[in-house]
Structure 1
Amino acid sequence: MDFCAIDFETATHERNSACEMGISVVENGEIIKTQTWLIKPPSFPYFHPRNIDVHGITPEDVQDSPTFEDIWHEAENLMYGNLMIAHNASFDAGVLRSCLDYYGFFKPKLNYLCSISLAKKSWKNLPKYGLKSLAEQHQLSFNHHRAGDDAEVCAKLSLLAFNNLMVTRNDEIHEVMKKSIKIL
């Protein structure tokens, strides 16, 4: 199984305000790399206080960081040809779409899947399906609301869910989750 798990943190309510991006790359059912970038968003130096309260990233943290435009080609190479999985994927896909639009990049033809849908299919009747709740359920510790950690835990939970569903290949993911897979 090959896929990448992705997560964004944003500086404001604007979808193009990514201030951190994390990608965890899975090849042959194993996490081979997790990469995180702090990003200087278009809103810099403005960060909404509510967003800072969630992730703890401040304008000072990103003042010397690259923009999304600067890191996109490196990130795209990690994602190339992969199924993208994110926890609450509509948010992360929206951030990716908005950042690509803002900087004038073409959107790659990328299939994506929400790990919440995957978790609900794999573990029925849990009280909560948030990333933190699922991680606790599976004894996975992480620094919640930091993009690299969230992406890696998303990848680990996805692998556990696929294992529980006895899904071992990408074509089986498409078969089992076909109604849940969207295109960027």
Structure 2
Amino acid sequence: MLDFCAIDFETATHERNSACEMGICVVENGEIVETKTWLIKPPSFPYFHPRNIDVHGITPEDVQDSPTFEDIWHEAENLMYGNLMIAHNAGFDAGVLRGCLDYYGFFKPKLNYLCSISLAKKSWKNLPKYGLKSLAEQHQISFNHHRAGDDAEVCAKISLLAFQKLMLTRNDEVRDVLKKNLKVL
């Protein structure tokens, strides 16, 4: 049984606590069961760095009536509870999650996380690029890049394909085979 959640953040600034969008894709028994996206009003509001807006297209106006990370965390945590977390470039997303949890004084869940880039490199050797967009194109998956829900769902789909290629069908197998790649939040 493969159970995990894929997560993605978009940020308003270079600050790790500046999440302005969060996406979580929940996988149960190797199937995507839910993808949830939240626009978030970051602590920097109304300031967004222009470079960040250029990447994801989310503006202060888009989030002015949105909840803060503090307001959505319990709902998000329930989707993630007890799961393996996977993210594309996981160091960034885990850092944003840690930054938001620290900023609002929340306890960090004991989550193992895995980077889908290292998973893809293990599964498909010698690809020219391992970015989310390149991997999606390689597997004929279309999506709205740099939007958190879409990115999280594509990360989940790529991870499922990688697990299939590595013939990993259960979380304990993932832990055994990829233990060097697993990190703790």
Please indicate the TM-score interval, normalised by the length of the shorter structure.
over 0.9
Question: Does residue 115 in structure 1 map to residue 116 in structure 2?
Answer: yes
Q: TM-score, normalised by structure 2?
A: 0.99
Map Cα deviations across residues 100-152 of structure 1 (whole Å, 9 max, x no partner). Answer: 00000000001000000000000000000000000000000000000000000
Quick check: 1:41 aligned with 2:42?
A: yes
Counterpart position of 2:175: 174
**Residue 172 of structure 2 aligns to a residue in which SS?**
helix
- Secondary structure of residue in 2 paired with 1:128: coil
- Aligned-pair Cα RMSD in Å: 0.2
For residue 166 of structure 1, what is the amino acid of its counterpart? M
What's the counterpart of residue 61 of structure 1?
A: 62
Deviation for aligned residue 1:63? 0.1
Within 5 A, what are the aligned runs for 1:130-169?
130-169=131-170
For 1:163 and 1:93, locate their aligned partners in 2 and report how far apart those are by CA, in whole Å. 25
- Look up the equivalent residue of 1:112 and give its one-letter code: Y
Instruction: For 2:165 and 2:110, locate their aligned partners in 1 and report how far apart those are by CA, in whole Å.
Output: 29
Letter in 1 for 2:47: Y
Q: Who is 2:125 aligned against?
A: 124
Give the superposition deviation at 1:175.
1.0
Q: Aligned equivalents of 2:153 and 2:13: distance in 1?
A: 23
CA–CA separation in structure 2 for the residues paired with 1:116 and 1:66: 31
**Ranges in structure 1 where 5+ consecutive residues have no aligned partner:** none
Structure-1-length-normalised TM-score: 1.00
- Shift, 1:62, TM fit: 0.1
Percent identity reads: 90
Between Structure 1 and Structure 2, how many residues are aligned? 184
For residue 176 of structure 1, report the CA deviation from its aligned partner: 1.2
Q: Does 1:106 align with 2:104?
A: no
Secondary structure at 2:48 match in 1? coil
What corresponds to 2:91 in structure 1? 90
Q: 1:49 deviation in Å? A: 0.2
Query: d(CA) in 1 for partners of 2:57 and 2:144?
Result: 11
- Cα deviation for residue 41 of structure 1 reads 0.1
- CA distance in structure 1 between the aligned counterparts of 2:110 and 2:18, rounded to whole angstroms: 22
Distance 2:60 2:128 in 1: 36
Offset of residue 44 of structure 1: 0.2
Q: By how many angstroms is 1:50 displaced?
A: 0.2
- Superposed CA deviations along residues 130-184 of structure 1, whole A, max 9, x for unmatched, are 0000000000000000000000000000000000000000000001111000000
Structure 1 residue 59, shift from structure 2 partner: 0.1
Q: Where does structure 2 lack aligned partners over 5 or more consecutive residues?
A: none
Partner amino acid, structure 1, of 2:34: K
